Amino acid sequence: MLNEKFRILELTKKPLITISNVTYATNGIKILEDINFEINQGCYLGIIGPNGAGKTTLLRLILGIIKPNLGEIRIQGLAPDEYLNREPIGYLPQRISQTIYEMPITVEELVRSGIDKYSRDTVDWAIDLFKISSLRKKSLKELSGGERQKAFLARALVAKPRILLLDEPTTGIDPNARDDLLEILEKLNKEFGVSILVVTHDIATFAHESKCILCLNKRMVCLGEPQRILKEEYMKLLYPTHTVFPHRL
């Protein structure tokens, strides 16, 4: 059972991630500019915005894969690389399940690759969590898109991280697989205090799932509860070239 395998975390109001005056540019082009916000432990944050808004870049900055040109990022007071030396961060890159599936690797081997020290119980827990036990000996190329997504999500969670970063997790999966994923994320967040940051274009779904929405378009447009943020006045700022907005509460 989930509550037997996952360490229970206390929900607190302590800052989890602090982004201070962050600007990131590459080849002279600014991708993100003067980003400032703070989120607390136990957050469930949806990150929305148009294509090219810098959403994926923000996740990569939090992970320390790239570094800001200006400003700083702190995770529980530590730089990303310092935090990762102490704690894992679960990460599901965009479209990974759709692009890396010809690998000669089984589901079980994929999940095992997500932890440094092999533990059969932990691998079994992650596989069971996503209801893919019957697939554990199958190769990735034998799976459907939704099944591969579950396998990669199991890999992201096998180290039992306190923070989970997901980049378009519902892309390319069927409604049943999506509902299974949302149910698991809700339980991880509400019952066990896992902090979840989701980059998504599936605004309608995550408006109901997440506790907070960050609207990003190279600069931060707004941050707040979905019912306050997803209004036409903000959507016009977020999607200035649209006449019909992706979602309205």
CA gap 177, 173 in Å, rounded: 6
Query: Are 207 and 114 contained in the same domain?
Result: no
Tens-place pLDDT, residues 56-95: 999 999 999 999 999 999 999 999 999 999 999 999 998 7
Residue 191 sits in a domain whose CATH number is 3.40.50.300
Number of compact structural domains in the chain: 2
Residue 244 lies in a domain: yes
| pLDDT greater at residue 3 or residue 142 | 142
Same domain, 240 and 170: yes
pLDDT of residue 11: 45
| Structural domain contains residue 5 | no
**Claim to verify: residue 110 and residue 228 sit in the same structural domain:** no
Spatial contact of 50 and 217, defined as CB atoms under 8 Å apart? yes
pLDDT digits (tens, 9 = 90+) for 171-217: 878 888 888 888 989 988 998 889 999 999 888 888 888 999 999 99
Domain boundary among the residues 130, 160, 190 is at: 160
Residue 45 has pLDDT above 90, yes or no: yes
Inside any domain, residue 94: no
Pairing between β-strand 89-92 and β-strand 163-167 as defined by DSSP bridges = parallel
Segment 128-145 mean pLDDT: 90
Which residue, 117, 133, 160, sits at the end of a domain? 160
Q: Above 80 in pLDDT, residue 118? A: yes
String of b and e for 62-89 (b: at least 16 CB within 10 Å)?
bbbeeebeebebbbbeeebeebeeeebb
Higher local confidence (pLDDT), 114 or 146: 114
pLDDT band at 146 (very low <50, low <70, confident <90, very high): confident
Domain of residue 117 covers: 101-160
